[in-house]
Structure 1
């Protein structure tokens, strides 16, 4: 898999190509500068809110509103930059095996479909923004439409970028053939709309299995494949206007908790820029670098420590990978293996408190959140040991590390240098648990801490390259935009699946199935892995929790036990290819092609699946420490 359908190629040969190329270049430069400024603004606004609230006891009532308004602009500018820079992920495992001219044609189809999709949502996005102009925010008293105006602007930027690429890379023959194929598929679906509507929810297989699978296999960027499948389903099978997709996309990208994504991406980049990451890696390498797989174990431990503090698995990965990967690669670690381990370690940590998913499941299903936090720790430890066992097995036959065992004095010096970096996960978790900052605000605390510690370290080492700051800010916006746009499209797809009535039908089937408690747990494992792949954790819990937890209680399954099993399953589903959004987010963060990661991630997911089975059928693991 790669995301190289949008890269600079030869100079434009025709006037229209030159115009579009120039327009795209200028637009993206402006978008890049604005996106970089937005990253800075978000960080300053949220950190100012933390300081005002907890230091001066004078909350800035407007800070969240302003941050939310700017956030959508950041997400859309970032998504457009990612499209122009080739950072939207696309599955090319099959396409890359085709002859060169057919690979070019597939890229033409992908770019044309992107053009069609963003072209379809521009007018509804304008209408959505105009409707919001009549609504004002409570604190700033500015029109909400100033926030949602980012949607049509971002869509227009993506249209310009994709059209420029389409005309630059494709011949007239390829364009005509691509148009003919897409038109034929569209016509066939239009003719079949009444039979598709008549077969009820079986049409979900056509749109969300067959059509979506073909789109992904053809190399269409994942986010746009989600969008195309959703729009086609809603328009042809349900008869709902495209505007609802814009509305759901806006909702998916506007969650304040997602502000942690760009902030943690920035935090990870600053850890690298400041030298704190190097100090941390040097200490860990001095401590266990001579052991086979030592640095992989470092990644595993750090993911365990920081997991859950942001409320977003994507943000957790973004906080760790950019800080650790550069040094680990320099020390000979395979980038594909690192991303595979990142996927496995992120999937295993869903039950570590403070987990937003656990909080949600407690609120929706009437379960003690304290009990869920208590019950989630031991299963997370078991899952961590399982992933660690896979790391040991994969590295046991590798040549012994070229690094010598460091003497105690060298370890002590490395520890002193690494203390600021080692203190950061403790600071982040303490800030959330103690209520010093929200899960979103804590990233700004980490950024401020990293800047101060990095400047202090720079006074001794003179290592910071300040000219890298602007590229880091633009990269932060681009990577965040690609992730957030994917989440927005996944939210729209999730809504479509919800409205189909699929959830109620699934609950009825599970309640009536044979096998009693064991059968119910077995089918729950399968169902929630699938749901975790397509719906993610919180939407799936809100949708299915009230339906399935009463069934579990009736069968004698404890609430905490069932909740932990469900959350573990959704964690595996979220990171399981080919549909798991978390898997592609990890690949984007690790800047690695998913094609090479899929095989490497399989052992970790299989180990976690074994852990799920053990936890499901040994209730003591999740409930043994609960008060009786």
Structure 2
């Protein structure tokens, strides 16, 4: 969600400091966005070239993955800069609605000054880290690793500049001064209290990883910076660990090659909406079920299932479906609140459908096979979808469809032919992975090439003017996601080094009920974590800690992945804290209050479906290829 402080920025009078800051900000933003967009294009080109060279010409390019990895770190850091400037870093804003205007304005400004504090403190260690990396030579390209590592201090410095520029453009100098003074005062108090923290031992985990994180998250500070600041404070004030180590863990978290699939699938999601492929699928489904009571609601559930299998981005899914279905559903008398409630519920239901970004992330941080996760995620989503369909049937069993005409069979056949290329795309993607044509990272490039050709040759809908904004949007969302992964990785490492993982394993091993008791505790924990931290941060932070415990408890890792992803999704898309719910409201242009009385039936259905998936492991593992 965007940070509300963007609304507090105004055009400044000519000649003022804010005026020059605004001009500088626009010029710098144009340059960074252009470079970030170019990096997305180059990544697509490098990976697609690697696939063609290996599979078509049987001549693998040995340096393609290495080059892609180097460029990916630069893309992630520059994307994080774009996201910070636009206010698109993930943050929890639910509590801000309860604050008064003055308090809210102060908290919104703190959402800028707190990241400034962290960026200012971590810049020097990041620079030292990049200089240390110059003595390492990459194996394939045989160049200094400093070319890659330099992305970290460069991105941090640019984020610092972007944040300071936003502060200079705010309309209230007194508010900025108060936020800066408060941030400096709290940082100073923690520094002075350093000698007090060291003897506290494990109690510091609660102070920093619960207290500091919670205070920042609920105050509206972006989640990535909340994690990073807590980790920096814990390591700097309670241990002798050099901050170079934290930068190294940040680098490690952001450098998994599997995560390169994230920007490519985000771009693919935007591409299928732009080329009309999503609309073609929805129109075909609507022609089949439009005459049935609640038919368009069934279409919404089915369309989210199909589109999720292509885009991997929930925001892209919702943006592709809502504008097509909602006008007709409203004409038939559906309440806007029910529509947004169902849209939000399907967001949670389809979290496990490949190529879900959450699946890719969980595979990268836990070592679980991406191919196995892709195969295991399809049927569990059907179970939750069936539960949602049961609620739709009950609510719309008396719907009056006397004015709705049944679509002729010839028209259904025509729409089926039109939709066929779009419907085939999820199967093309999955077949490419299963048959070994491309890895889970590379397969997105095949999808992009396929969608481009279909848009140009079949659907004749390809707006070249939208490509650059789509590339910039891809870079921004990528930066927001991958920077969170890096910060959460550093925080998880800090928790592991403190001995917390051993204590957690010992406690979880003592839970009664064996594997099912462990699953029950995990469901409750991830629903809460999903609502507060959002999905990816929760997965990255606790996945590496809990998956080994699940194996010891006898729970299959793919089964456990499906359970925690659904639990996290329910927390993410359910009010009052779930950010996904408010994203659905924003896309649907429906006030959040209208959906509250409708959503709880769908949430109950999702919980029932989750219990079924947790109780029957075969649903998740029955179709695994090994």
TM-score tier, shorter chain, comes to 0.7 to 0.9
For residues 449-468 of structure 1, what are the structure 2 equivalents within 5 Å? 449-459=450-460, 463-468=461-466
Cα shift at 1:266: 1.2
CA contact (8 A) 2:261 2:360 kept: no
Cα shift at 1:594: 13
1:543 and 2:515 correspond: no
Q: Where does residue 324 of structure 2 map in the other structure?
A: 327
For residues 199-218 of structure 1, what are the structure 2 equivalents within 5 Å? 199-218=200-219
Q: Where does residue 345 of structure 2 map in the other structure?
A: 341
CA offsets per residue over residues 527-585 of structure 1, 9 Å max, x none? 566678686557745434444533x35xxxxx44x8624640354136624999x9658
Change (3 A) 1:542 1:402: farther
Q: Where does residue 274 of structure 2 map in the other structure?
A: 273
- Alpha-carbon distance in structure 2 between the residues aligned to 1:192 and 1:578: 39
Change (3 A) 1:251 1:452: same
Q: Where does residue 569 of structure 1 map in the other structure?
A: 564
Cα shift at 1:38: 1.1
Change (3 A) 1:56 1:259: same
Higher mean C-alpha deviation, range 540-549 or range 168-177 = 540-549
- Alpha-carbon distance in structure 1 between the residues aligned to 2:485 and 2:582: 15
Change (3 A) 1:379 1:578: closer
> Helix, strand or coil: the match of 1:5?
helix
CA contact (8 A) 1:289 1:401 kept: no
CA contact (8 A) 1:343 1:583 kept: no
For residues 375-390 of structure 1, what are the structure 2 equivalents within 5 Å? 379-390=380-391
How does the TM-score come out when normalised to structure 1?
A: 0.83
- Alpha-carbon distance in structure 1 between the residues aligned to 2:108 and 2:220: 7
- Alpha-carbon distance in structure 2 between the residues aligned to 1:357 and 1:176: 39
- Alpha-carbon distance in structure 2 between the residues aligned to 1:165 and 1:301: 42
CA contact (8 A) 1:479 1:589 kept: no
CA offsets per residue over residues 337-369 of structure 1, 9 Å max, x none? 4662343123455999x96699789978xx9x9
CA RMSD, Structure 1 to Structure 2 (Å): 4.1
Change (3 A) 1:239 1:306: farther
- Alpha-carbon distance in structure 2 between the residues aligned to 1:144 and 1:586: 42
For residues 51-450 of structure 1, what are the structure 2 equivalents within 5 Å? 51-291=52-292, 294-302=295-303, 304=305, 315=312, 317=314, 320-328=317-325, 331=328, 336-337=340-341, 340-347=344-351, 349=353, 379-392=380-393, 404-450=405-451
CA offsets per residue over residues 462-510 of structure 1, 9 Å max, x none? x433222222221221222222222222222222222221111122123
- Alpha-carbon distance in structure 2 between the residues aligned to 1:505 and 1:156: 38
- Alpha-carbon distance in structure 1 between the residues aligned to 2:521 and 2:5: 40
- Alpha-carbon distance in structure 2 between the residues aligned to 1:394 and 1:133: 64
Cα shift at 1:288: 2.2
What is the total number of aligned residue pairs between the two structures? 607
Change (3 A) 1:570 1:22: same
CA contact (8 A) 1:361 1:563 kept: no
CA offsets per residue over residues 200-221 of structure 1, 9 Å max, x none? 3333333233322221222222
Q: Which runs of 5+ in 1 are unaligned?
A: 554-558
Cα shift at 1:251: 1.8
Change (3 A) 1:626 1:411: closer
CA contact (8 A) 2:388 2:605 kept: yes
- Alpha-carbon distance in structure 2 between the residues aligned to 1:286 and 1:476: 32
CA contact (8 A) 1:576 1:605 kept: no
Change (3 A) 1:125 1:445: same
* Match 2:492 to one of 491, 494, 499: 494
Cα shift at 1:451: 0.9
- Alpha-carbon distance in structure 1 between the residues aligned to 2:348 and 2:125: 39
Cα shift at 1:331: 4.8
Q: Where does residue 28 of structure 1 map in the other structure?
A: 29
Higher mean C-alpha deviation, range 108-117 or range 241-250 = 241-250
CA offsets per residue over residues 124-166 of structure 1, 9 Å max, x none? 2222222222222222212222122122222222112211111
> Helix, strand or coil: the match of 1:576?
helix
CA contact (8 A) 2:488 2:541 kept: no
Q: Where does residue 556 of structure 1 map in the other structure?
A: none
- Alpha-carbon distance in structure 2 between the residues aligned to 1:626 and 1:346: 19
Higher mean C-alpha deviation, range 495-504 or range 203-212 = 203-212
- Alpha-carbon distance in structure 1 between the residues aligned to 2:47 and 2:515: 47
* Match 2:475 to one of 477, 482, 485: 477
Q: Which runs of 5+ in 2 are unaligned?
A: 331-335
CA offsets per residue over residues 256-306 of structure 1, 9 Å max, x none? 111111111111111122222222222122222344554554454355457
Higher mean C-alpha deviation, range 290-299 or range 437-446 = 290-299
CA contact (8 A) 2:25 2:162 kept: yes
CA contact (8 A) 1:230 1:493 kept: yes
Change (3 A) 1:339 1:198: farther
Change (3 A) 1:602 1:159: farther
Change (3 A) 1:415 1:248: same
CA contact (8 A) 1:351 1:377 kept: no
Change (3 A) 1:504 1:19: same
CA contact (8 A) 1:344 1:605 kept: no
> Helix, strand or coil: the match of 1:133?
helix
CA contact (8 A) 2:341 2:602 kept: no
Change (3 A) 1:521 1:474: closer
Cα shift at 1:242: 3.4
Cα shift at 1:52: 0.9
CA offsets per residue over residues 217-239 of structure 1, 9 Å max, x none? 22222222222222222222334
Change (3 A) 1:119 1:574: farther
Higher mean C-alpha deviation, range 69-78 or range 592-601 = 592-601
Higher mean C-alpha deviation, range 44-53 or range 194-203 = 194-203
Change (3 A) 1:86 1:595: farther
Higher mean C-alpha deviation, range 531-540 or range 143-152 = 531-540
> Helix, strand or coil: the match of 1:26?
helix
Higher mean C-alpha deviation, range 606-615 or range 132-141 = 606-615
- Alpha-carbon distance in structure 2 between the residues aligned to 1:360 and 1:492: 15
